[in-house]
Amino acid sequence: MCSILCITQCMATSIDLELFENLRLELRRGCLVAAVLAQLRSEHYGYTLRKALEDQGLAIDEGTLYPLLRRLESQGLLASEWREENKRNKRFYRLSPQGEQVLEKLLEEWRTLNASLEQILKEK
Amino acid sequence: MDLIERYLQAVRFWLAGPGRFWLGGAKARLQQEDIIAELREDIRSRIDDYESSLGRSINEDELAGVLKQVGHPLWVAARFQPQRSLIGPVLFPLYLFVLKIVTLGYLVPWFVVWLALVIFVPSHRANNPFLTALGGWAAMWTNIFIVAGIITLVFAILERVQPAMAALQKWDPRKLPRLSQRKDRVSRVESSFGLVFSVAFIVWWLTLPHYAHFFLDPTGGAIKVNPALHNYYLLPVIPTFVLMVQQCINIFRPHWTWLRAVFMLVSDLLSLGVLAAVASCKPYLLVVEGAKDAANYARAVPAINQVISLSLLGIAIGVGIAAIVHLVQTVREVRRLGRAGDSSIMQISASL
């Protein structure tokens, strides 16, 4: 009986964890774009960008970062160039003028959302 | 470092995808090489970091660990591909709906006919019943897969052509179906009329022997009912009696909708059993030897028996379909009862 209860409890916990993980990823998805754009106000190549984000508490795996960088570049929000550094070719990214404008709007939206959420939480 | 190049080769393979021999021009190939170069640089930077933390070069096992951290080549390549689907989210619910309807529309009649053939046609299960059944089921699955394949293909084409999108733009809310209202009670009028008809049927059936001779008298006693059928004479009353019980209860407890579904299912299954028992008593009509015109009737009786046999098969198919419908209704009612039970338990716990 105890083992049945334990299995049921474990299954419920794993479902809860999975649900939380999905919600967390959804929440992060939008923030990541703004974070990457903001970080690229100064020039970075992929690896240093990932490290910089990680150092500031926003870990992102390369499987997510590189496709995101390519998408943002194809949308005209980033500019990139291959350049040699320490005898190795690296692709450096930076925010484009269009990206700067979009980032400003995104940050404004983010602040509004954050303020609204804070307000809602305060009311409770 | 050979391991890195092997890894990148695998990623390149999956980036190109199965269509690499005829799809994608020079631009696509350049893009692939660009991704690979960037990935190579990322892996090397990781290794540099790792080696500087260790204060030495990494060995092959450690390199394999780094590559495992980057991810399986298929997974890494997939992240660079645009999201692709055979049938998109707009058409998918419609696709699922059509698939269900067509599959059920094929599966249910097929199952009922197969069951009826197995029960009522001895020749169908003649020598090897298991192989007969297995062969029949194999044919059914083949047909289902073909039908499902064709539907999938049609929807995949629709997804590419997208005429449905134009249809979705032109719609009128007034043409939406009316609100479906689930009956939460069995009408007393329905139960009362049902009870009257059930009683009428039982009375008619029980008095049948008193006037059955009217049907066979014109033959001058040359045809008689198979005496083996007399054993089953009272059996058809049982399913009707089950329905009578349900109708009586539902007159006083109209909210017990589950009762009707369950009793109708039981009645259907009993009816199928009765039909199977009756069908096994062949021939249904016999020619009385030595009777007047017995030779003439002997030629007609096999045809009549055949008609009776086919009629029983038809009735069994009808009852079989009804049984499946009532089974679905029973499952729904049981689930509804379960949900109601859960909510009442929650209400009780909340009040405590």
Chain segment A47-103, per-residue pLDDT in tens: 999 999 999 989 888 888 999 999 999 999 999 999 988 888 899 999 999 999 999
Reference A58, options A89, A29, A80, A99; nearest CA is: A29
pTM to 2 decimals? 0.56
Q: Where are the domains of chain B?
A: 1-80, 81-172, 188-351
By three-state DSSP, how is residue B219 classified?
Answer: helix
By three-state DSSP, how is residue B199 classified?
Answer: helix
Token pair 């390149």 is found at B12
Chain B hits for A62, CB-CB cut-off 8 Å, are: 39, 42, 70, 76
The verdict on a CB contact (< 8 Å) between B39 and A66 is yes
Alpha-helix residue ranges (DSSP H) falling in B55-162: 60-70, 73-80, 92-120, 129-161
| Chain A interface test: which of B8, B15, B36, B42 (most A C-beta within 10 Å) | B42
| Chain A interface test: which of B39, B44, B67, B79 (most A C-beta within 10 Å) | B79
Distance from CA of A116 to the nearest CA of B (A): 32
Chain A hits for B38, CB-CB cut-off 8 Å, are: 46, 66, 91
Mean per-residue pLDDT pooled into runs of 10, chain B (352 residues):
89 74 66 90 91 90 91 88 80 89 78 69 59 64 85 88 69 79 81 92 85 68 80 88 92 89 92 86 80 75 86 86 88 82 58 52
Distance from CA of A20 to the nearest CA of B (A): 22
Which helix (H) or strand (E) is A65 found in, with range? helix A62-74
**Identity of the amino acid at B103:** T
Condensed to tens digits (0 to 9), the pLDDT of residues B48-72 reads 999 999 999 899 899 999 999 889 9
Condensed to tens digits (0 to 9), the pLDDT of residues B316-349 reads 888 888 888 898 889 888 888 877 766 655 555 5
